[in-house]
Amino acid sequence: MTKFIDSPMVKEVSKITFRLFDHGWDERNGGNVSYRILPTELEGYDDVQTVKRNIPINFDGQDLAGLYFLVTATGRYFKNIIDFPERDLGLVRIAKDGHSVDLLWGYSDGAAPTSEFPTHLMGHQNRLKIDPNQRVVMHCHPTNLIAMTFTQALSEKEFSRILWKMQTESLVVFPEGVGIIPWMVPGTNAIGEATASKLEHFRAVIWPQHGLFGTGATIDEAFGLIETIEKAAQIWTVVQMQGGQIKQTITDQDLLDLAKTFGVTPNHDFI
């Protein structure tokens, strides 16, 4: 019998949560990941075929009923998931009533999905309208990016333009720029709604003085997006540490040339 703990999906989430921790982007219980799993990917795993528990959720997920998600547990540390995946991850299916999930595997010591699960579900729902391949929502606390939310105006246009100009790769990876919501209390449906509405226009959304949400069709895509944004923020930080006097930069014309060559459409409200 093949066990779900040995599946590529559990391995992928275990490895990426450790990487997020190892980058210093998920201290303590910071961060959360949800990964939409296809029914075909569950075939052959006998230990996910029955409902172990029903867990209420503080959200109406009726539109997502029947969908499967592999989700990090609330309160758990990303540094530990790699050693205790069956305890700190859960495979859930959104129940028909929308207000609960059926647990099929994991959360073995009584855990429940991340406190940001409503935000994740709203995010998946909105991204799925734009991209039927959408499967991953990833939240973390990248240091340089968070620092920038203290020193820079929280303007999506200005913020995105700085990140675009800090390295050639940025515009190619996130040509639409980054979304920003105001500072809000995490773990609430209000922050979920604000984030999800930004996800209609951007794949990444900044939570000022808190962190970043990245989305994508694969774990690699969501992680790569986050990595690239944080790298740009890190370069910006180092530029400031070197005195901040820019002698040459990537110009608007350079950005337009880059977009043309790489076949991406930059956000025309920003450039």
Is the Cβ of residue 211 or residue 214 nearer to Zn ion in the bound state?
211
Between the CA of residue 30 and those of 74, 79, 182, 223, 228, what are the distances in Å?
Answer: 10, 10, 19, 16, 20
Stretch that binds Zn ion, among 163-171, 211-219, 226-234, 252-260 (CB under 5 A): 211-219
Give the shortest CB-186-to-ligand 2HA separation in angstroms: 4
Q: Which residue has the tokens 């209390």?
A: 185
Intra-chain end-to-end CA distance of the chain, in Å: 55
Q: Does 80 bind ligand 2HA (CB under 6 A)?
A: no
Q: Which of 116, 156, 176, 230 is catalytic?
A: 116
Q: Residue 53's closest CA among 109, 13, 136?
A: 109
Phi then psi for 105, rounded to 5 degrees?
A: -165, 150
> Where are any strands of DSSP class E within the chain?
32-37, 53-56, 68-72, 89-94, 100-106, 136-140, 179-180, 204-207, 211-216
Residue nearest to ligand 2HA (CB): 186
Q: Any contact of residue 114 with ligand 2HA (CB under 6 A)?
A: yes
Rank residues 146 and 173 by Cβ distance to ligand 2HA and give the closer one.
146
Q: Applying CB under 6 A, does 30 fall inside the site for ligand 2HA?
A: yes
User: What letter would DSSP give residue 36?
Assistant: E
* Binding to ligand 2HA in span 184-243, by CB under 6 A: 186
Residues annotated within a binding site for Zn(2+): 139, 141, 210
Which residue ranges make up the site for Zn ion (CB under 5 A)? Answer: 211
| Residues making up the binding site | 139, 141, 210
Point out the residues that are catalytic. Answer: 116
Residues that bind ligand 2HA (CB under 6 A): 29-32, 114-116, 139, 186
